[in-house]
Amino acid sequence: MSGTSLAERRLGNPFVLLIATSVAMLVIGLVMILSASSVEAFQRYGSSFMFFNRQVLGTLVGVAVMLALARTDHRKIRRFARPAMVISVALLAAVLIPGVGVTRGGSSRWLVFGPITLQPSELTKLTMLVFTAHVLDRKGKKILDFKELMLPVFAVLGLVCLLIMAQPDLGTTLITALAVMVVVFLAGARTKHLVALLGGGLLMTLALIMGEGYRRARLFSYLNPWSDPLNTGYQTIQGQIALGSGGLFGLGLGASRQKWSYVPNAHTDFIFAILGEELGLVGTMATLLLFVFFIYLGVRIARKAPDRFGYLVAGGITGWIGIQALINMGAVTGILPITGVPLPLISFGGSSLVFTMAAIGILLSIARSRKSS
């Protein structure tokens, strides 16, 4: 026990460090949303603070949820695993019902309850992870049998992915599936089963991409954005211009030129490009290092979790946020195709922010349980 305390003093308390890291990313996000969204907000609403004010409200809600879950024993969460999964599937189905779901930009992803807009797929990322961890923890070594591994986790995952793809939203589908695969890997599934599932998932992803014209166009523009610089390659090129314009130290906060209707989705999917333009390589590297440190803390919390369920949930949440950050930054820098997913804690989006902070609250709960155990 004394050795553990000494190690904690040297490396820092993961509970405190995780809060500090999350708050740092939230602050960066709020500052960059105010800057990146100011032009579009003024053009659409007559106020440069419209998106910023909404994100502040989402942050306050998210902080409240995070603190509430951090104070809740994570073991109590598992009793809600199945009911929450049922609710998530019902909400995913509801967005597809004409007149119930809200369609924007050709996608039906939202439900509106008075002043509240909910994106059920963001909730589903979290509930799917908790459900998977709950089921695989109870199955134990039975998951070495392929049938036990598949049912009910991959049956439910298949239904969830089908509903999210119907919106359509390939990016969220990929993140949800990959996060579940992280939990399956941590649970100790056979390597040959993991390879078969990943191989099948890759083939299905390629089929989905090639089956839709706009997805094919995104893939081809990723391979060569300059082949169609004013259409399919436009966002990638403008994002890279923004990053390149920032140089080492950036143009300064608020001084972005690309946010003036050049970079599409400047305050959402491509906020990392505006961050790079205004804060330069120093700003982008600092943000990247914050995510790397977040992942390190998540892995550390998972390894020291007081029980297997906590280990699987912590590992799954860490994998989810790390994978999503990688996919977003990879798309902005041109390393990966554009998938339209937000940068966790930094991009604009109430549902994404609140449920990501809820996940962090569960991580904090696991770290707290370990600390007090």
Selection from 173, 204, 187 nearest residue 132 by Cα? 187
Residue spans per domain, the chain: 2-372
Q: Walk across the sheet containing 116-118 and list its strands.
A: 101-104, 107-113, 116-118
Helix boundaries (H) for 73-212: 74-77, 81-94, 120-139, 146-150, 153-165, 170-187, 191-210
Q: Taking CA 326 as the corner, what is the angle to CA 92 and CA 279, rounded to the nearest 5 degrees?
A: 115
> Which pTM does this prediction carry?
0.94
Residue 195 half-sphere exposure toward CB, CA atoms < 13 A: 3
The pLDDT, as a whole number, for residue 319 is: 98
Instruction: Tell me, rounded to whole angstroms, the distance of Cα 3 from its chain centroid.
Output: 35
Mean pLDDT by 10 residues, the chain (373 residues): 49 91 98 97 95 97 97 95 98 95 88 92 98 97 94 96 95 97 97 96 92 84 87 92 96 96 94 98 98 98 96 98 97 92 96 98 93 46
Instruction: Tell me, rounded to whole angstroms, the distance of Cα 38 from its chain centroid.
Output: 24
Distances (CA, A) of 207 to 61, 201, 285: 39, 10, 35
Distances (CA, A) of 18 to 22, 366, 368: 6, 12, 11
The pLDDT, as a whole number, for residue 11 is: 62
The burial class, CB within 10 Å (0-12 / 13-18 / 19+), for 299 is middle
User: Are 193 and 149 spatial neighbours (Cβ–Cβ below 8 Å)?
Assistant: yes
The pLDDT, as a whole number, for residue 147 is: 94
